[in-house]
Amino acid sequence: MIVVDSALVVATLLIAIGIYGLLNSKNVIRVLLSSEIILNAAILLIFSMSALVGKSYTPLIFSVFAIGMALTEVVVAFASVILYYRQKGSLEVD
Amino acid sequence: MLFSILALATALFIVNSKNVFYSAVSLAFLGISVAVLIADINPAAYSLYSAFHLILYVGATVVFLSISLVMFRGLEVKEVKTPWAPSLAIVAAIAFFAVLVLSTSSITPSGTPEQLNLAVVGEKLISQYWFPTFILIVALLTTMIEALSLARRD
């Protein structure tokens, strides 16, 4: 259980760092990367909690969907960023 | 322990680096650390997902981000100092951890986790979770078309 507990602590700290990154930057890419940190923390949390309960299939399948959707989200977000950059010439948001 | 420290260090580097290209490259190290941490929780059951995380997240998402960032000029980040951001992040972490501990205190830890069978995973994806699988396939296909149209546009 020590491994699971340390994973929970790491996930919590990663969420804190992600929130700090979201609040402390106006750069669109930095905001996207901070949300990716929170996504990684959430996936780590899913597996830690599932190990606690003793389930193996549900977290695996849910995380596969989460990672697939994260890939889609990054590409869609990046398309928006490219359009924003073409219009404004900068990656900073007001 | 080593990968926990690596994950936290790379996460801190991502939010503090002055150049977002280096931040995007560091996200690969965060992905690798998280994959190792997941495999470390239960190697028999979760190593399959760990490999998936490495291939799809580190191999596709982070590489896509890093390569796409080369298209931009001026990747240096203007520093915005929000004085209450660190304290709010700490408060959020403490509150989240308290909720986590309170919610897991009633759970009786199971000593023997389920052994993973790849055939069962495939069967569950096709029969029980067929609709999310279908949506995921369509979303990934749309992503591919979008990436192609982005690459072709002047």
DSSP string for residues in A6-44: HHHHHHHHHHHHHHHHHHS--BHHHHHHHHHHHHHHHHH
Q: Are A7 and B80 a contacting pair at CB < 8 A?
A: no
Chain B residues touching residue A40 (CB < 8 angstroms): 7, 30-31, 34
Q: Number of Cβ pairs closer than 8 Å across A and B?
A: 218
Cβ atoms within 10 Å, residue A19: 23
Helices B20-41, A2-23: axis angle to 10 degrees equals: 160
Q: What is the pLDDT along chain B (154 residues), one digit of tens a residue?
A: 788 888 888 888 888 888 888 888 888 888 898 888 888 887 777 887 888 888 888 887 777 777 777 777 666 666 667 777 778 888 888 888 888 777 777 777 666 666 777 788 888 888 888 898 898 889 888 888 877 777 666 5
| CA B117 vs CA A61, A78, B44, B56, B112: distances in Å | 12, 36, 10, 20, 15
* Average pLDDT of span A16-23: 87
Beta-ladder partners of A6: none
pLDDT: which is higher, A61 or B72: A61
pLDDT band at A65 (very low <50, low <70, confident <90, very high): confident
Closest Cα of chain A to B102: distance in Å? Answer: 13
| Model-level ipTM above the cut of 0.90 | no
CB-nearest partner of A74 from B49, B61, B80 = B61
* Domains of chain A, CATH where assigned: 1-88 (1.10.287.3510)
Does A58 have pLDDT greater than 70? Answer: yes
Q: Are B57 and A67 a contacting pair at CB < 8 A?
A: yes
What is the pTM for the complete model shown?
A: 0.83
The 3 state secondary structure assigned to A49-67 is HHHHHCCCHHHHHHHHHHH
